[in-house]
Each structure stands twice: as C-alpha cells, then as structure tokens.
Amino acid sequence: MKKRVFLSASAVAVMALSSAAVLAQDNTFKIGLILPMTGQQASTGRQIEAAAKLFMAQNGDMVAGKKVQLIVKDDTSVPDVTKRLAQELVVNDKVNVLAGFGITPSALATAPIATQSKTPMVVMAAATSSITQASPFVVRTSFTLPQASVSMADWAAAKGGMKKVVTLVSDYGPGIDAEKFFKDRFIFNGGTIVESLRVPMRNPDFAPFLQKVRDAKPDGLFVFVPSGAGAAVMKQFLERGMDKAGIKLIGTGDITDDDQLNDMGDGALGVVTAHHYAAAHPSATNKKFVEAFKKANKGMRPNFMAVGGYDGMRVIYEALKATKGQGGGEALLNAMKGQTFESPRGPMFIDAQTRDVVHNIYLRKVERQGGELHNVEFDVIKDVKDPGKSK
C-alpha cells in the first residue's frame, strides 16, 4: 500500500516537473557557452565569461519576452570534451545557441553538431580562417589570424620601411597560418623573407633562434607565439641588443595581449603589432566598456578575447530581438548575418556571405600610458575582410 502511494506520488511529481520544464523552455532562451576555464587557455575562458556576464548585466536578461539563460561549460581546451559538451547542451539542455570556443580544434569538432541540429554557433575566440567554412551555422565575432598578419605585412612593406624580414613562429597551427599569410603578402608587396623559423612548443629557449635572426640582419622580425611566450621573446630580443642592431619587432596583437602586457615590463615598449582591438582604443564606447569590465572584475583589463565574447553576446541578443523570440535556429542564423554595429573595437559587421567578422585592423605601438603599458593605435586599415576566404 505504502509503496503504491509512493509510486503515484512520484509519478505526479515527475509529471509536475516535466511540465514545469516544458513551460520553462517556452520562456527561456538558452545560450550554451563552452570555454576553456581551466588549463593552458584559461585566460581566454575567464575573459569571455566575464565579458558575456557583463553584457547581460548591462542589457538585462529579458529579450523579446524571453528570459536569457547562460550555461557555462568548461572544455579544458580538449576538442573531444568540447564536442561532448556541445552534444549534451543541444540534446539535454536544448540550448538555442552554442557559443564560445577557445581554440580552433574545439570549434572544428563542434561544427558538425551545429549543422545537424541547426543550432547557430557563435565563435568568440578561435581565429583560424577555415572555421566559418566548417558549418553553415558558424558565425564569428572574434577575428581571423590572416586579417592581422596580412595587415601587418602591408604596413611593414608600405609604411614601416622594411625590405627584409625574418619570421619566427611557434610550431603549431595558428603559428604556421600567421607565417604563411604574412610571408605571401610581404613577398607580394616586394619584400624579402630572409628566413622562416619555427620554434618548438616544448622547451622554448628562444636564444639560438634570436641569435640566428640577429646574424641574418633583417629590418624586421615578425613574431607569432602564444601570448605568454611573447614576453620572453621581447626580453631576449632586448637582451641580445637586437633593437640596437636596427631590427624592429613586429607581430600580430597576440604577443602584446592586454591581459598580460602590463606585466611584461619595459621590454615591450615600442613593439609594433597589428590587431583588431586594444583596451586603449580611443572611443567613447570602448572607454565605457573597459571601465565597466574592470569594475566588475577586480581591475582585470579586457583583452581581444573579452571583446569577442561581448560582441558575440550582442549578436545573439540582436538576432533574438529581430526574430521576436519566435524563430528557430535558421531564423536566428539569418538574423545574425549582416549585422552592423559599433563595438568597443570600433565599427564591425558580420559578412552575410562568409558569416565572418569584418572590422578595422589597427597598427599599434606599445607605450606607457597613465603608468601602465598599453597598445596605442597609430594607424588603421579599414574594414578588413578575412583574406583567407578570397580564394
């Protein structure tokens, strides 16, 4: 007898719960944010999560009659984990949008799930050109590596007065991408690449490579390394007296990542980089963003990852507004294409054809500003499309 009462009671409870779940689903709009919160890429995850939460705090969580819910998952930068989490989010949590993705392999592993489930996938960090081609449901709000390296090559040849350049990259996917795009464009612009050096990821003592660069006597040294290693390159660059030998250090903005720049010390001064965002970008929108971000995160400075996350949230919010909270995955995707707005990084839009971000690439030099090291912009290349797509 007792057993039966218990059974029916639990049946009622289950029904009540499931109907509550159904109700909740009607009223909530779920964003599954998959980020590396631990491990090597944890700073990426931290920045994006903080930015996404800031955006929601500023814009409220009720959009078009729906309550926006953010589900953050940690993939520890392991692509298999990213894929599994994406599957769980789509199948169990029934998320409306997938977002985040710290590294390229994670994004590529998830792309088939986005295609099959027709869930828009907003890439907020990973920067390899081909990601948007992996699924018609991918939209990118970060940047692409070719955008930065090609812009750097243009500037170095035209305005930087460099004819001979050595490239030095870490021996992994993004490094090789950066090397290739810089090299092709620089040669196209009439420059010479004296040498292309690849540094192993493990046990990186840059001394022998930098010595080789010094002996090759180029005008400039183009560097792409993971952001932490950037500081080591700069220090040894100075220690070896390469600046005095007339070699200029240039690179994509990854090496002077705002998250770490201030700890790098005076060695970073004068380094020229090309990137889409600097915390010191002089616009009212950005000032507000940086202030609010620092206030909410104990003075942490937003970097280019944060701005990718912030703009990604905006793209999702706008798409939700445009579809009045009614549309499914494809409607949302269409509403994301072609969005134009003023981001903290400056004007940007989502190219409707490639679903990739188009924005200005700035040339910046590291200078001391208000007692802190900053990337100070001194030149701009407007509306740069991803050069990796033109072929």
Partner 1 sequence: MLTILFDGIAYGMLLFILAVGLAVTMGLMNFINLAHGAFAMGGGYITVVLMQRYDVPFLICLPLAFVAMALLGAVLERTLYRPMYKKSHLDQVLFSIGLTFMAVAAMDYFMGSSQQIVQLPEWLKGRTELGEGSMMLGMGHYRLFIIAVCAALTIALQYILTKTRFGSRLRASVDDQRVAAGLGINVNVVFLATFAVGSGLAGLGGALGAEVMGLDPTFPLKNMVYFLIVVAVGGTSSITGPLLAALLLGIADVAGKYFIPNFGAFIVYFLMIVILIWRPQGLFVRKGGK
Binding residues for partner 1, rule: CB under 8 A, are 38-43, 171, 195, 197-198, 200, 202-205, 207-209, 211-212, 226-229, 231-232, 235-236, 238-241, 259-260, 263-265
- Residue 102 or 105: the one with the smaller Cβ distance to partner 1 is 102
| Shortest Cβ 142–partner 1 spacing (Å) | 19
- Residue 204 or 347: the one with the smaller Cβ distance to partner 1 is 204
- Residue 229 or 335: the one with the smaller Cβ distance to partner 1 is 229
- Residue 187 or 216: the one with the smaller Cβ distance to partner 1 is 216
| Shortest Cβ 229–partner 1 spacing (Å) | 6
- Residue 44 or 132: the one with the smaller Cβ distance to partner 1 is 44
| Shortest Cβ 100–partner 1 spacing (Å) | 17
CB 304 within 8 A of CB 275: yes
Cα 50 to chain centroid distance, Å, stands at: 14
- Residue 95 or 264: the one with the smaller Cβ distance to partner 1 is 264
- Residue 102 or 329: the one with the smaller Cβ distance to partner 1 is 102
SS (H, E, C) the chain: CHHHHHHHHHHHHHHHHHHHHHHHHHHEEEEEEEECCCCCCHHHHHHHHHHHHHHHHHHCCEECCEEEEEEEEECCCCHHHHHHHHHHHHHCCCCCEEEECCCHHHHHHHHHHHHHHCCCEEECCCCCHHHHHCCCCEEECCCCHHHHHHHHHHHHHHCCCCCEEEEEEECCHHHHHHHHHHHHHHHHCCCEEEEEEEECCCCCCCHHHHHHHHHHCCCEEEEECCHHHHHHHHHHHHHCCCCCCCCEEEEEHHHHCHHHHCCCCHHHCCCEEEECCCCCCCCHHHHHHHHHHHHHCCCCCCCHHHHHHHHHHHHHHHHHHHCCCCCCHHHHHHHHCCCEEEECCEEEEECCCCCCEEEEEEEEEEEEECCEEEEEEEEEEEEECCHHHCC
| Shortest Cβ 215–partner 1 spacing (Å) | 9
- Residue 195 or 318: the one with the smaller Cβ distance to partner 1 is 195
